[in-house]
Amino acid sequence: MRKGDVLENISNFIALMETQNSNTAKVVKHVFKNIDKDIIDLNENELYRLVLDLRPNSPKHIITICYVLGLYAKWLFEQSIVKTDVLFNTIQNLDRKALWKDAKPNANKKFISYERYKKLISDIDTFEEFNSIYYKTLFMCIYEGIYNDDLSVIKNLRSSDIEDNIVTLHEDSGYSYKIKVSNELSENLKYLATLNVWERPNRYGICRVKMRGLYSDTVFKIENRTTAVDDSFRFSYYAKLRNTSREYLGNSLFPLQLYTSGIMHRLNYLLGKNDIETNEAFSNNCRNKIAHNIISAELFRCNYKTEVSNFRELVKGHLDVFENDSFGDLNDELFDDILSAIEDYEFGGFEEGEEVIFEHLTHERNAEVVALAKNLFKESHNGKIYCSNCGFDFSVRYGERGIDFIEAHHVKPVSEMTDGNITRVEDLVLLCSNCHSIVHLKKPWLSMKELKRITLLCK
């Protein structure tokens, strides 16, 4: 088939995809952008080689390539451009596992091990003549869990948001949350907020450029340029991460890859403490609820807004990167909140309710809403706070230690919530621990009317 005919076929196929699904069309364009030959007459070995030549970086990438090629082969058959469906079946029968095994040695490094991360930080400290504290702290910040898609939590971070090693983070969306970091990172962040000059060498010596931030105590300021806009912050962070990682690691490292690498290092440690193999926890057929909830706990802690299944898919095929992680320096306070979050749920003690309870608590993250609900309750109940169902008052039973203690229950079932769901005061009911546990004892959960009816009947 002439090259002009091939290009016309591909163009017509892409045009059809654009009328059906814009996302699929985008992926199709990306795949065919790197294919410079006609696939119609290729045999199985040649198709196998074609997939490898596209330099896939993950098993998912291979599945996507084969899916796109399969769609194209099916379209060729439906348009009678090829007389049989042999091409489609050949693509469907390509061994995806074997493809990834052959592609992996030449794939771009998606993640880094803890040893490489520590060496990177050490090398920046040793060899970076100017602004080493900035580069080092930016890498540490993301690795320890301070990240979101548009990097606004880094742009908005200021010294006044840091109290000991608890950092309050603010997204541009208005959502705020807290995260615990290492003592070293906490000190670096506070120090960095005091710096206002970026140093760089030139032929005359050292050039000092004034830096700017959203606030006077902004931690990660950027060079002050007259053309600077808000996007300049994100571009500046990306450039610094990309260029520095390329210099010291030999390849560019994107923020999400660094962030995920840190999460995987911590998960390795947490899973190991519960005698769970990482490969087991991330296998397709894993039914271990403890493993699932450990992963959920860490994703929740650092505000990674994705399902456990999606996260598993992201790191699949790269678990060997983290096989030999060392944990000699993890006995500091950084892990206290993760470990306590996991141990407090006593995973071994729950059965069918464990995942539900954890998910429920996860959606109750916004402490400000809970605090507001408590304050409003006290204002309308003579300054007292007690279970709105049975009337139990923790301060009466436990004295000073029980003052203002109560649990907040979501009226709206978590199963009906979606990512980004905003919790409002009217969505919460204040319950004692016993009533709250009874509500969630088994499915279906009790409504407040049902809970009140049971309470009255049993008095």
Alpha carbons 68 and 75: distance in angstroms, whole number: 11
Higher pLDDT, 410 or 142: 142
Query: What is the reported pLDDT for 354?
Result: 37
> By three-state DSSP, how is residue 151 classified?
coil
Q: Dump pLDDT digits (tens) for 88-146.
A: 999 999 998 899 888 877 776 678 999 989 989 999 988 887 889 999 999 999 999 99
Nearest Cα neighbor of 272 from 333, 322, 317, 308 is: 322
> What is the DSSP annotation of 253-302?
--HHHHHHHHHHHHHHHHHHHTT--HHHHTSTT---HHHHHHHHHHHHHT
Q: Is the peptide bond before 413 cis (omega within 30 degrees of 0)?
A: no
- pLDDT value of position 62: 87
Mean of pLDDT over the chain: 81
If you search the block for the tokens 């199963």, which residue do you land on?
A: 415
d(CA 367, CA 22): 39
Judge contact between 240 and 233, C-beta under 8 A.
no
Torsional sign, CA 257, 259, 260, 266 = positive
Residue 3 has pLDDT above 60, yes or no: no
- Strand, coil or helix: 213: coil
pLDDT category at 21 given cuts 50, 70, 90 is low
Judging by beta carbons within 10 Å of its beta carbon (0-12, 13-18, 19+), is residue 414 exposed, middle or buried?
Answer: middle
At residue 314, the pLDDT reads 86
Cα(175)–Cα(419) distance, integer angstroms: 13
Most confident of 162-166, 341-345, 410-414: 162-166
What is the four-CA torsion angle of 193, 195, 201, 203, rounded to 10 degrees? 150
| 416 has pLDDT over 60 | no
- CA 67 to CA 92: how far, in whole Å? 8
Judge whether residue 229 has pLDDT over 60.
no
Q: Give the confidence band of 190 by pLDDT, cuts at 50, 70, 90.
A: very high
Residue type, 279: N
Query: What's residue 339's pLDDT?
Result: 56
Instruction: Report the side by side order of strands in the sheet with 197-202.
Output: 197-202, 205-212, 222-223
- Rounded to the nearest 5°, which phi and psi values hold at 168? -95, 125
The 10 Å Cβ neighbour count of residue 266 is 24
DSSP element (H, E) containing 117: helix 114-127
Q: What is the DSSP letter of 205?
A: E
Over the stretch 274-333, which tens digit does the pLDDT of each residue have? 888 888 899 878 888 888 888 888 888 888 988 888 898 888 888 888 877 665 555 445
DSSP H or E segment with residue 409 = strand 407-410
Q: Among 419, 108, 112, which residue's Cα sits nearest to residue 259?
A: 112
Distance CA 357, CA 65 (A): 39
SS3 of the chain: helix, strand, coil, percent, to 5: 55, 10, 35
Residue 262 has pLDDT above 70, yes or no: yes
pLDDT higher than threshold 70 for residue 230:
no
pLDDT of residue 352: 33
SS3 state at 208 = strand
Residue 48 near residue 55 (C-beta atoms within 8 A): no
Tell me the C-alpha distance between 26 and 301, whole Å.
Answer: 33
pTM as predicted: 0.60
* pLDDT-wise least confident of 62-71, 213-222, 387-396, 433-442: 433-442
Instruction: Say yes or no to pLDDT of 64 above 90.
Output: no
* pLDDT (0 to 100) of residue 94: 93
* pLDDT for position 158: 95
Q: Given this model, what pLDDT does residue 6 score?
A: 73
Check residue 89 and give its pLDDT: 92
Query: The tokens 């009678």 sit on which residue?
Result: 80
CA 85 to CA 280: how far, in whole Å? 38
Mean pLDDT in residue range 341-359 = 38
pLDDT of the residue at 373 = 83
Q: Give pLDDT, residue 86.
A: 92
The yes-or-no verdict on residue 338 having pLDDT over 60 is no
- Percent share of the chain, pLDDT over 70: 83
Instruction: Specify the pLDDT at position 410.
Output: 82
- pLDDT the model gives residue 357: 36
Pairing mode of beta strands 166-170, 176-180: antiparallel
> What's CA 116's distance to the chain center, in Å?
21
Q: What is the pLDDT of residue 127?
A: 83
Burial 11-43 (b: 16+ CB within 10 A, else e): eebbeebeeeeeeebebbeebbeebeeebeebe
3-state class (DSSP) for residue 323: coil
Token pair for residue 189?
């962040």
Please name the residue that has the structure tokens 């007259």. Answer: 226
